[in-house]
Chain A
Amino acid sequence: MKVTIDGKEIDVPKGTTILQAARMIGAEVAPPAMCYYSKLKSSGGYCRTCIVKVTKGSTANPTPMPKPVASCRTEVMDGMVVENFTSPEIVEARKGIVEFLLINHPLDCPVCDQAGECKLQDLGYEHGLAESRYEFERREFDMIDIGDKVKLHMNRCILCYRCVKVADQLTDGRVHGVINRGDASEISTYIEQVIDNEFSGNVIDVCPVGALTDKTFRFKQRVWFTKPVDAHRNCPTCSGKVRLWIKGEDVLRVTARKDQWDEVEEFICNACRYDHKKKSDWEIEGPSPVNRHSVISQNQYAHLNQQKLEQLKHQSALGFMKIDKKP
């Protein structure tokens, strides 16, 4: 099936969604997604950040779709034409969505463990407005512990449902879910029960914001001061392929590895996540790939510093200020 997104054409198999097709073309046309998660069944459709305009339904039925559609839940048709970043209407609508997601968000990034790897930060920066028009009190919830390893900070939650789907699809006894309704909805456990399952820690990795954080890592270190490396161990429960977040000789945190769309490659078990925090527990493979726009790439990689040096040398050769002289 041929589909054109922002003027770029691609051939995809039947059943592919617009979002998947856009990701196949590349990041330059891929809509942002806060709730969709390709590894989870029936995810997506809630946050509405990935909406796009279908200007031609298909070759057989060229009628445009009357409203913007969620690209993560809409399958492509042969001959479909889609506008994402090229549609001013969509860019404007997306600003609205980002504003909605932020009006009740506490914006407590300075004290949030997710800062630096938060999808909402990225979204706000890349697709939002510079300032908020919301002048009312933000809704507040109490923080709760979901067991001894996971902290739920509901104020930050954007209700993407990913953690609920992880519990439904990866574990056998879901004890947390979405309660109440409307803007009073919250993620909660049924009377403070513990998520007790060997894959439960994955709720942390799928959370796009700082609503679910790893209590063993909480307030230990800013992520951009830690260095991510890929590592593995022989694990009887999961693949054992993980990402270690290292500072000096200490393993501060263990997470699953994530791909370029920030999705977990393979879910990992709690033993790998919480119980193996020594470098000697792991075979280290090497530095993890990090998006060069990410704050995590700061301070870490010699080759980036090298690039910077080269650039400065270049400037120097052209008669700019000498690099060894401070102004």
Chain B
Amino acid sequence: MDATQAALLAKVQPAELYEQPLVTNNRDFNWVTDKICRIVETKTPTWWWICMAVALMTASFTGLGLLWLVSTGVGVWGLANPINWGWAIVNFVFWIGIGHAGTLISAVLCLLKQGWRTSINRAAEAMTIFAVVCAGIFPLFHVGRVWYAWWLFPIPNSNVIWPQFRSPLEWDVFAVSTYGTVSVLFWYMGMIPDLGVLRDRAVQRLNKGVYEGGGAIANKLAEGMDLFRKNFYAILAMGWRNAGNHWRNYEMAYLVLAGLSTPLVLSVHTIVSFDFALAVLPGWHTTIFPPYFVAGAIFSGFGMVLTLMLPLRALYGLHDLITQRHIDNMCKICLGTGSIVGYAYIMEFFIAWYGANPYESFAFINRAFGQYWWAYVMMFSCNVFTPQLFWFKKVRANAALVWIMSIFINVGMWFERFVITVTSLANDFLPSSWGYYSPTMVDILTFFGTFGLFSVLFLLFLRFLPLMPIAEVKFVMPQADPHGHHGDQKGGQH
């Protein structure tokens, strides 16, 4: 900086740009490693066992429901003419939608260089994969004879027939299986360096022999656990040595995967929306469906991330890693996508009137004021009014309130899928074929059980895998950039 510039700066006195750091309280690198690793290394907390027991019990409902269905037939669900798509499709779209936040955070926000993604992306990706697992159950068992489900894939067979390639349901098979595969790859590959860290820490403890303090049995047990960790993480880390070329390949592969999965964020729910939009039913046959579904999916996905991350932050004391800035950003994404969804609801009504098609107009008036008006009220109030509260900083700063609202968002998004699926089928062109749909006990058991299944998988993830990408969190710390502007202003000891 020469003298002229210095003089100019002194004269202008530029305002200091304050950016809230992504890791607060001036933590050092070692603290981050320790914090994240200790989640899986310390003794299993009591709340984990309680949650696991409850989750397993709830998950058994799904098992029971599916057993009932397979041994009896699809008739045990509440599906009947004219409503042949009921909760099964509602639940499928609901879970798949939740899965969308994972890819958005890991791929789109990665390409956009959003530093705040780092402390939530691992958990969001895990959530995505487990949500896809839950989603897949419903169409899989809806086929009826689930042992023939492999016919969904184009495999040459002695019947010389192929799946119906013109059907969006078949596109779903490819969209969802691609999405599941890429999400698993992304998740696993991102974990490799952290698995290496966990392995090395176990090896270090074993070499030092730090098993003292407890009784003889407790010490032996701790050593045995570390032996297990050493081998378990060594297998999963696939020989990761933290070498320069490992990191170079890793970064490149991560970027390539991010590029590959970015279109998937848009394509999967677009294709899911085609299940409806390509039919000629009033209320389904609209071009607004793809963008509206994608926005809704991201909306519900971020709702679920908030639902999961806020309790975790409190339970594990992660306030320095998941800061108010993270919560603010997630709330703002909910606000943005929730507003798009609200706009779509209103625009659908406008087009129904503007299009001057009596069936279309009826479909929408029937949605709001017909036999399922209560579902519409639930949907509209949860999805349109709830996120609007996120305009207020005070609301966003109240973690308990944000958590409750995130649950409202997902309740509302479930009702959205219910309204779309059921109202259009129940009252279509011919009044003589109208009907009313109610779920059966089996529907209810199967659906609520999936929350248990999801929780079981997520709890296992918490206990055995690194919750956050350690290295990536370190990249975005003020200390990682000691010579930069922020480092000068308020960076830690470097």
Query: A and B, one complex?
Result: no
Instruction: Give me the interface of B with A, judged by CB distance under 8 Å.
Output: none
